[in-house]
Homo-oligomer: A and B are copies of this chain.
Amino acid sequence: MDNIPDGHPREKSLRSRQKIVEGSSKGLLAGSAMIAHGRGEAFDYLLGERTTESARSAIRESAIRLRSANNPVISVNGNTVLLAGKEALRLAAVLRCPIEVSLFYRTPERVSGLVSLLEEQRMDVLEESPPEGYEGNWVDSVRVVPLLGSSPDFRIDGLRGPRSHCTKEGIGSADLILVPLEDGDRCEALVNLGKEVIVIDLNPLSRSSRMATITIVDEVSRAFKEILLELVSDSINASTEWDNALALRDSLREMTEFLNDF
């Protein structure tokens, strides 16, 4: 797995897997995080490892709502930082919003390890070109992205234990939370607090997929990139009524169509 040939048909999937294996061996992931990644791999396989039409609709609507939110926040766990930390930073820079490390199996060591990794990724993003069409000062925008989570000073009502901890500056005062790979209970608790919750999850049948305001059924780094493209494009439209149950049925239909093609 260390030598993935360039041009291998499943190169991206294999590189993602490698990132997760390496992150796990560095102690950045909880025990079952690799299993969760494997589940995602299977569902992504059924999507054809691409952003489907229904995901694209969800991404467009998400970009509109992210742009008009007062206090958006991007909530990330270990898998998200490993797979798409740089993409999260690019999005946060454009949105001028914080990133909060928020873990289901929270330990202070893992939170600070992930914040440190995000700081390293920030150095890389500073060297990158801004997204085409972005008109702000890229370096300044990337530099000021707050990386939260190390000092939780707030609790999510309706949850118990360490997974209820969050920061007031981030999730606590957010009106919209973009959260890949969330657990169902926490998604439900956040929705019950009146927040808009945009979930990115490859399993359209998961509880968080079904609880979210909008579910983007897509791989997290692909989804982040596509949201960014929408945000910096001029073609962004007004928000619409969003029928998430209908969108999830569309994702399932896309999977069955893929299976039927074999």
A163 within 8 A of partner (CB): no
CB-defined contacts of A235 to chain B, threshold 8 Å: none
**Which residues of A from 14 to 61 have beta carbons under 8 Å from B?**
17, 20-21, 24-25, 31-32, 34-43, 45
* Interface size of A as a range: 20 to 34
Q: In chain B, what residue has the closest Cβ to A20?
A: B35
Task: Tell me how far the C-beta of A79 lies from the nearest C-beta in chain B, rounded to whole angstroms.
Answer: 11
Task: Tell me how far the C-beta of A164 lies from the nearest C-beta in chain B, rounded to whole angstroms.
Answer: 18
CB-defined contacts of A256 to chain B, threshold 8 Å: 256, 259-260
CB-defined contacts of A203 to chain B, threshold 8 Å: 42
Q: How many copies does the complex hold?
A: 2
A69 within 8 A of partner (CB): no
A218-262 vs B, CB cutoff 8 Å, 1 = contact: the mask equals 000000000000000000000000000000010010011001101
Q: In chain B, what residue has the closest Cβ to A21?
A: B31
Please pick, from B40, B41, B252, B262, the residue contacting A262 in the complex, using a CB distance under 8 A: B252
Please pick, from B1, B31, B39, B42, the residue contacting A32 in the complex, using a CB distance under 8 A: B1
Say whether A255 contacts B259, CB under 8 Å: yes
A44 to B225, CA, bound (A): 31
A205 within 8 A of partner (CB): yes
Say whether B38 contacts A35, CB under 8 Å: yes
Please pick, from B20, B24, B38, the residue contacting A41 in the complex, using a CB distance under 8 A: B38
Q: In chain B, what residue has the closest Cβ to A260?
A: B256
Say whether A34 contacts B38, CB under 8 Å: yes
Say whether B25 contacts A35, CB under 8 Å: no
27 A-B pairs whose Cβ atoms sit less than 8 Å apart in the complex: A1-B31, A1-B32, A17-B35, A20-B35, A21-B32, A24-B31, A24-B34, A35-B35, A35-B41, A37-B38, A38-B38, A38-B39, A38-B40, A38-B41, A38-B42, A39-B42, A41-B42, A42-B42, A42-B43, A42-B203, A45-B205, A205-B262, A252-B262, A256-B256, A256-B259, A256-B260, A259-B259
New A-B contacts (19) at CB < 8 Å, excluding given A17-B32, A252-B262? A17-B35, A21-B35, A25-B31, A32-B34, A34-B38, A35-B37, A38-B38, A38-B39, A38-B40, A39-B41, A39-B42, A40-B42, A41-B42, A42-B43, A45-B205, A255-B259, A256-B256, A256-B260, A259-B259
